[in-house]
Amino acid sequence: MYKILLLSTSIFIISVMCFLWNIDCSKSTTIRQFNFNNQAKTNSIASTKRIPDKLVVLTFDDAVASHYTFVRPILKQYGFSATFFITEGFNFKTDKVNYLTWNQVADLNKDGFEIGNHTRDHVIINEQSLGQLLFQLTSINDSCEYYGIPRPVSFAYPGNFIHARALPILKTAGFSWARRGNIPELSGGEDGRGFAYEPYADDPLLIPSSGIALPAWSLEDFKNAEACAKNGKIAVLQFHGVPDTEHPWVNTTKEQFRSYMDYLRNGKYQVIALRDIARYINPNIRPKDPWDIIIKRKNGLTPNTKIF
């Protein structure tokens, strides 16, 4: 009888322990599951937040003085953001009439605009110059640090020339986004026509310009460049000086620029800097083959033409 009682008590104690252990385990599992689901939900939101129609990225290249004297007040008046890609190339160091000073660049940053990297010497990236790309990037990054500007996360290819081996260098140097022009789908000319940025199909380090503002542009050309900003695609627009007396082949007049900005404001476009697309796109999710979309576009334009 004593043995039976002892056995029953033992079974009872073991059952209670198992019960409690199960509660604990299930509780832990539930917590783990909850945390996992929350994380998955967060990741899902971060990577799939809907890209709104009428999303436009404004970019300005070559550190032209009119970016400060004319573009800056208009953008501030209209509540638009933008990225200014800084280089010390051309006559930046000696001509402070036509080029920005670093203090003005620092002011643009303080205003909330993005400061991007355009290489120290405006070096065209090719087989011969790849070896100095990291130095060229670091030099501008160092100047940004000196003037209290956050380390750039956006890059623009000088002259819009790209090279496959630049991508890992840009990644290593900490860049999330890089804007190109319309090469290699087009030749770099073609009246400044370009392509919409298609997130997750276009590599974030090979973002095409949907338009490159040229002197001959009318408001209709500008409308064509931004019209692609729908169905998950983004219009990334490339400007130089407004005006740009040092680079007249990419000049935009004050009148042209004001008409473009009026069009965006009246059309209720959302105008942001390149870095701001991180609200919608995870730059770490990259296409398996970054050249696939480029080749498809190229083949669509001129069938059977190889671009590499």
Contact residues for Zn ion (CB under 5 A)? 61-62, 158
249 and 243 in contact (C-beta within 8 Å)? no
Q: How far is the CB of 113 from Zn ion (least distance, A)?
A: 17
Q: Between residues 205 and 293, which has the closer beta carbon with respect to Zn ion?
A: 205
Q: Give me the phi and psi of 178, to 5 degrees please.
A: -140, 130
Which residue, 62 or 202, is less far from Zn ion as judged by CB? 62
CB of 212 to Zn ion, least distance (A): 11
Which of residues 118 and 298 has its CB atom nearest to Zn ion in the complex? 118
CB of 295 vs Zn ion, minimal distance in Å? 26
Least distance to Zn ion, CB of residue 270, Å = 26
Q: Residue 171: exposed, middle, or buried by beta-carbon count in 10 A (0-12, 13-18, 19+)?
A: middle
**Residue 134 C-beta: closest distance to Zn ion, Å:** 19
Q: How far is the CB of 78 from Zn ion (least distance, A)?
A: 24
Beta carbon nearer to Zn ion, 61 or 203: 61
Q: Which residue is nearest to Zn ion (CB)?
A: 61
Between 59 and 81, whose beta carbon lies closer to Zn ion?
Answer: 59
Q: What is the 3 state secondary structure string of the chain?
A: CHHHHHHHHHHHHHHHHHHHHHHHHHHHHHHHHHHHHHHHHHHHHHHHCCCCCCEEEEEEECCECHHHHHHHHHHHHHCCCCEEEECCCCCCCCCCCCECCHHHHHHHHHCCCEEEECCCCCCCCCCCCHHHHHHHHHHHHHHHHHCCCCCCCEEECHHHCCCCCHHHHHHHCCCCEEECCCCCCCCCCHHHECCCECECCECCCCECCCEECCCCCCHHHHHHHHCCCCCCCEEEEEECCCCCCCCHHHCCCHHHHHHHHHHHHHCCCEEECHHHHHHCCCCCCCCCCCCHHHHHHHHHHCCCCCCC
Smallest gap from Cβ 224 to Zn ion, in A, equals 23
Question: Considering the complex, what minimum distance in angstroms separates the CB of residue 122 from Zn ion?
Answer: 6
Distance CA 301, CA 296 (A): 9
Which residue number, 70 or 92, has a Cβ lying nearer to Zn ion?
92
Q: Which CB atom, from 90 or from 200, has the smaller least distance to Zn ion?
A: 90
| Residue 139 vs 282, nearer CB to Zn ion | 139
